[in-house]
Structure 1
Amino acid sequence: MLNVLLRTLGQGLCLSLSLVAGAQAASVVFLNPGSASENFWANYSRVMQAAATDLGLDLRVEYSERSAERALRQARAVLDGPQRPDYLVLVNEQYVAPEIIRLSRGKGVKLFMVNNGLTPAQTSSIQAQPGKYAPVLGTLTANDEEAGYRMLREMAALLPRSNEPVDLVAFAGVRITPSSQLRENGMRRALADLPQVRLRQVVYGGWSRERAYEQAQLLLERYPQVQLVWSANDEMAFGAMQAFEEAGRKPGVDAIFSAVNSSPEALRARIEGRLGVLMGGHFTVAGWAMVMLRDDARGLPINPDGRSEYSLPVLKSVDPAMARRWLKLQPKGGYGIDFKRYSAEGRAADYRYPFLTSPVDY
């Protein structure tokens, strides 16, 4: 009898191991709107891959090289290909999302959006034609408006106390990208609190160092007394810095610069004081998206509160100490974050992802 029992247990164990070994990881394709050579988007992909590996997801990244046409071609190839993924993660860069959502209808691929969500007008249009579009499982974006606001407020706080007017120029990203719009809106909101700051001009640098460099040369000719240079990303800030340096102006001394992103160059510039204000941390959205997709793949509810769109408090002011810490953590890909720890698996029914409402330390 004991031998029979042992044999039965052994057979059951072998069957269980076979089922586990044969189980396939949920597959994810991320349509990255940038290029592998861009610090932000390359780092974004690294964080996403670190989280996917930690969580047992099969991730593939496709870079669209800042081309809306290429992004749409890639989406069609993914959705019409012989091996469709379980999930397609996309970004509403240059307003490409509605067309990809339309192409996804009936394909059996779940959609998830990160970094740039739908605009209110796009949402209204899609809701008015529900039979034309696929559903979107969820959307995670950063607190971009708040970041734009805090950047200018912190820049102004670095100025000497005076009632004299101070000239500001601003480098926004792309007119038709929600994160750029929100950061600019935050900057303009801060202006209402800072009557001494005069916004001379906003230019759209397209996230490009080279373009911002050329624009900054012209802005310096028009407004030679500029003391504040607000930039929606680090590449544009460095392009503007180059123009200022060539004009004999020292960043951090003769003018205060700000930026968003946490590339190694930006972190070093913050440590050195060339960047007076730096906002970073939104790369973690990539990892939090993977947590939610892994839970969904396991049949767990990822929006028990009924919401599907969240603006996460991930963008924060990076001081020199934090910059030094992030420089050490970057090579780890996932910044040392234990993504499994934040899963809903094994939690109570009322569990809420903490990263949706509170900053996570790392």
Structure 2
Amino acid sequence: MLKVLITCVCLLGSTYGVMAHATSVVFLNPGLSNETYWVSYSQFMQAAAKDLGLDLRVRYAERDSHTTLVQAREELQGRERPDYLVLVNEQYVAPQILRIAQGSGVKLLVVNNALTADQMQLLGSRTGIDLIGSLVADDEQAGYLMLKDMLRQHGRVAPGESLDLLAFSGIKTTPVALLREQGMHRALAEHPEVRLRQVVYGEWSRERAFEQATQLFKRYPQTALVWSANDQMALGAMQAFQDSGRVPGKDALFSAINSSPEILQARLDGRLSSLVAGHFTVGGWAMVLIHDDANGVDIGAHGGRDRQEALFQLIDAAQARRLLGPMPTVNFRALSALGKPESYRYPFSMRLLLH
């Protein structure tokens, strides 16, 4: 009986040990704690972490880069440090966080906004920094897809005629905003019939874009196309357009990025003509990479350490309806490279959610 009891205690102890030593991850979320995009992003991360047996904690900076740096210092210089820290190079804060991380023993993964070439050069050899890699979506392609899709839907323009375009970008110091703009300009280069009347920086804000759009639609009454780098700015611009007595989707075509319920509904209603989504999944896929790194997998051997994934895709009405339902379940464990051949490549894609 005593032998059985000792065996049970040992088994319980070993089980507790496994639980107590679950790989710990902290995500420094740069967004607002009530912001649809960043909340859904964190939820997808949590679903992945749970499936993969990771202990994930999310901290919101409420769109304040100073708060991000304070949080980074607490996590990287505190007594109980996580095994991994996931960060976003929002407003170019990554180099400062990497410097704070020197000698901390914490592994770092950058998501969404990777380090720029200049930042990489300034960091040099990264002595004492354990940066396991970066994972970003192809934001340039997203900007390109939106404008191309709107033009496809608009149809041909008569010789000698032109189309007026307005663009709402995000924050100038956010790499993804600049990349999405670059994609828009690539599409513009292919369509000389489109006149870009003005690019404004709506700072990802619905209210700011509404104020800007109210003035812009008066200044450019012939606007036919409205390009927005996220959903909130598109919703603000559409409201301003409606308030001017015109109908979004009919009197002008609107586009957006993201998959909030409100923008998905606008896509279903036809007010939004072109929708691109997919990058809210980045954090979830990052959990797969962390799980594998923690289990001794060389993630660089399965597609590189600095990864740009083609996660964005155009969302049609049927897919919008699918995304409006419960969050699709994903078997994150099945995506792991653990035990897979060297030829295996992580199949990160929106298709995993829209099957």
Measured against aligned partners, the alpha-carbon deviations of 1:159-191 in whole angstroms (never above 9, x if no partner) come to 143222000000010111111111000000000
2:257 corresponds to: 260
Separation (CA, whole Å) in 2 of partners of 1:360 and 1:43: 14
2:345 corresponds to: 352
Separation (CA, whole Å) in 1 of partners of 2:303 and 2:146: 33
Alignment of 1:219-230 (within 5 A): 219-230=216-227
SS at match of 1:158: helix
Separation (CA, whole Å) in 1 of partners of 2:236 and 2:349: 34
2:142 corresponds to: 147
Separation (CA, whole Å) in 2 of partners of 1:346 and 1:215: 53
Counterpart residue identity of residue 206, structure 1: E
* Equivalent residues of 1:312, 1:357 under 8 A apart: no
SS at match of 1:265: helix
Counterpart residue identity of residue 161, structure 1: R
* TM-score, with length taken from structure 2: 0.93
1:12–1:344: structure 2 CA closer, same or farther, 3 Å change rule?
farther
1:115–1:212: structure 2 CA closer, same or farther, 3 Å change rule?
same
Alignment of 1:82-121 (within 5 A): 82-121=79-118
2:331 corresponds to: 338
Separation (CA, whole Å) in 2 of partners of 1:348 and 1:20: 30
1:247 corresponds to: 244
* Equivalent residues of 1:312, 1:355 under 8 A apart: yes
Measured against aligned partners, the alpha-carbon deviations of 1:317-361 in whole angstroms (never above 9, x if no partner) come to 00000000111133xxxx211111101222224432122899775
* Equivalent residues, number: 351
* Equivalent residues of 1:101, 1:133 under 8 A apart: no
Measured against aligned partners, the alpha-carbon deviations of 1:164-223 in whole angstroms (never above 9, x if no partner) come to 200000001011111111100000000011111110000011000011011111111211
Counterpart residue identity of residue 141, structure 2: E
Identity across matched positions, percent: 53
Tell me which of 158, 161, 168 is aligned to 1:171.
Answer: 168
Alignment of 1:303-318 (within 5 A): 303-304=300-301, 307-318=304-315
Runs of 4+ in 1 over 3 A off after TM superposition: 7-18, 356-362
SS at match of 1:304: helix
Tell me which of 186, 195, 198 is aligned to 2:195.
Answer: 198
* Equivalent residues of 2:267, 2:317 under 8 A apart: yes
Please report how far the alpha carbon of residue 66 of structure 1 lies from its aligned counterpart in structure 2 after TM superposition.
0.8
* TM-score, with length taken from structure 1: 0.92
Tell me which of 16, 19, 23 is aligned to 2:14.
Answer: 19
Counterpart residue identity of residue 52, structure 1: A
1:29 corresponds to: 26
1:54 corresponds to: 51
Measured against aligned partners, the alpha-carbon deviations of 1:123-164 in whole angstroms (never above 9, x if no partner) come to 12112xx25662311100001101100110000111143222
1:36–1:101: structure 2 CA closer, same or farther, 3 Å change rule?
same
C-alpha RMSD over aligned residues: 2.2
1:191–1:165: structure 2 CA closer, same or farther, 3 Å change rule?
same
* Equivalent residues of 2:311, 2:350 under 8 A apart: no
Separation (CA, whole Å) in 1 of partners of 2:310 and 2:220: 35
Separation (CA, whole Å) in 1 of partners of 2:339 and 2:353: 21
